[in-house]
Structure 1
Amino acid sequence: MQSRFKQAILFSVKLLLSIAVLAYIARGLNLRQLRMHLLSVDPAMFVLALVLIFSQTFVLNGRWELIMRALGVSLDWLAGWRILMISMWFNQVLPSSVGGDAVRMWLLRQRGVQWPEAVKGVAADRFTALIGLIALMVVGLPVLMLRVSNQAAILAIGALTVAGVAGTLVLLTLDRLPKRLIALPAIASFVRFGALVRFLLLQFERRGALFGSALLIHLVTAAACYALARGVGAQLSPLEAGILIPPVVLLTAVPISISGWGVREGAMVACLGLAGVPSEQALSVSLLLGAISVLIGLVGGVIWLASPERGSYSADKAAKAANDNAVADASPGFGPGQGEQASSHP
């Protein structure tokens, strides 16, 4: 009962934040012009963006399958894609404290995957995506400095980039800490996870495909935003989309709002504004991108309705099991021996 009350409070806070940010952005805009941009978007560009974002699900699934294979788990491609789509339904359409990641872990467990592998597989998938995003921001920062004169914006995006690089390096080198610190339960799980990510990036035989897919996914998002920008008549170049959309994606991933609504819109208006895109058009791009995410989530919802696991699903139990196993994972550290064994899986 107390857990549900906390979930309701958290959901309410996130909802209020999303509404407050959207209201704040809309306050200074020409709403009539915004409505015109949304209704007059080029259908061909909208469909192109929809196809691009939907195609991401196949790349996402391929990346996740590689990670699970590195953990010694053979995940059927179609089964993995079905689980991924269902998780998007929970993320986009039914936002809650459970989230799509907990559902992914629960569905893996229903297929016989042990909790430690399910937790590590989903967490490593998320972190690999983050590394790809940070890499694009590192590459794009010098270009941004040459093309944008707003020093405050450059400083903010630069700080985000540096923080991302620093955080990644810290995680990957945690096992270099003194042994007495590594042995602490609060740190040990992060040390093991850092070792897993380092293995995936530096030693896994499919590391090129893994890192390449992480980059490709974010570039596809930038391409979809470029198509939407063109669809509403905004003057945005492909290069500008490539360097300005990654910071938007990074900020949207911060779990402080409902499925990123509000945060994404604020970040999109601020970042595209650096390229001279009017706020009304930038907000239109963000709202249309959000609508596409909801449409794809609905596809996952249809898959979930036909899923045999739906009858035994409990949101509370899935969240508790995922959280308990994420904290209490006491499995041995991941090493090259496990990876070499995993590489023989089909």
Structure 2
Amino acid sequence: YAYRFGIRLAIATQSVIFDRVSALIAVMLILLISSPWLNVFFTSNQPVLTVVLFATVLLVVCILLLVSDYLIPPFLPNALKNKIVEFVRTTRSVFLGRNGFKVIAISIAIHMAIALAVWLLAQSMRIQLDIMHVLLLMPLILFVSSIPISIAGWGVRESSMVVVFGMVGVPTEAAISISLSFGLAMLVASIPGGIVWWLMHHEVPETD
């Protein structure tokens, strides 16, 4: 769709990838920072250590990707090499440029806002859930939900909320209600954007 409005397909694709990567980096940073406090919710250190190890590996992979233009195998075709170099350099300019910190900071703020929204939903349903528990546990839920094994996290999010919120005394039915309400709230929140997209979809830009 962006391509129809004059944006190069490669740039439009990269913007979507950068959005997902920045969100993933943000949630991994939150998990790494909050890991000392997450231990209190588990009977052993193994779950937290597993998440921290996985998050650390992903962060290392992201760092390696930023310098992967220097690690391109020489046997690759030149056309493919050029595409990889262009993508990596664009990625580096986004995340290591002057706006890189802002991008990650905004992503972290969005994750915190999501946690606050979940807490407000719980309060509206008279479910006892401490805000500090939500702020600490929601990044873990979002991290698990980001695994690409479902559509928009549906199913995975519900299961992870049942397990994670169950550790702080939230009943299964209540955790499922919170998750479903959150998913529906996200759908409702996307309606204005969908309306704008639909209106723009019927306006074909003038071309010279």
**TM-score w.r.t. length of structure 2:** 0.82
Distance apart, 1:264 and its partner CA:
1.0
**Residue 174 of structure 1 pairs with residue 68 of structure 2:** yes
Does 2:17 correspond to 1:123? yes
Which residue is equivalent to 1:213? 106
Question: Which residue of structure 2 lines up, in the alignment, with residue 248 of structure 1?
Answer: 141
Q: Cα deviation per residue 1:249-303 (whole Å; 9 max; x = unaligned)?
A: 2222233223221111011112222333222221111011011012123333333
Partner letter of residue 285 of structure 1? Answer: I
Equivalent pairs, count: 204
How far off its partner does 1:177 sit? 1.8
Note if contact 2:41-2:167 (Cα within 8 Å) is conserved in structure 1. Answer: no
Identity over aligned residues, as a percent?
26
Mapping for residues 298-317 of structure 1, pairs under 5 Å = 298-307=191-200, 309-310=201-202
Per the alignment, residue 161 of structure 1 pairs with 55
Alignment correspondent of 1:141? 35
Partner amino acid, structure 1, of 2:20: R
Distance 1:201 1:277, change over 3 A: same
Q: What do you get for the CA RMSD once the two structures are aligned?
A: 2.7
Amino acid at match of 2:199: A
Alignment of 1:9-88 (within 5 A): none
Alpha-carbon deviation of 1:123? 1.6
Alignment map for 1:185-224 (pairs within 5 Å): 189-190=83-84, 192-202=86-96, 204-224=97-117
TM-score (norm 1): 0.52
* Shift in CA distance, 111/266, structure 1 to aligned 2, threshold 3 Å: same
User: Does structure 2 retain, via aligned residues, the 8 Å contact 1:171–1:190?
Assistant: no
Q: Single out whichever of 122-131 and 225-234 deviates more from structure 2.
A: 225-234
Question: Corresponding residue for 1:265?
Answer: 158
C-alpha distance in structure 2 between counterparts of 1:240 and 1:189, whole Å: 44
8 Å CA contact retained: 1:223, 1:241: yes
Instruction: Give the letter for the 1:279 counterpart.
Output: T
Unaligned stretches of 5+ in structure 2? none
| Aligned counterpart for 2:127 among listed residues 226, 230, 234 | 234
Aligned equivalent of 1:26: none
Where structure 1 has 5 or more consecutive residues not aligned to the other structure, the ranges are: 1-105, 313-346
Question: AA paired with 2:42?
Answer: V
Counterpart contact for 1:226–1:241, Cα < 8 Å: yes
CA deviations over 1:230-267 (Å, ceiling 9, x no partner): 23333332222122111222222233223221111011
Name the CA distance, whole Å, in 2 between partners of 1:275 and 1:184. 55
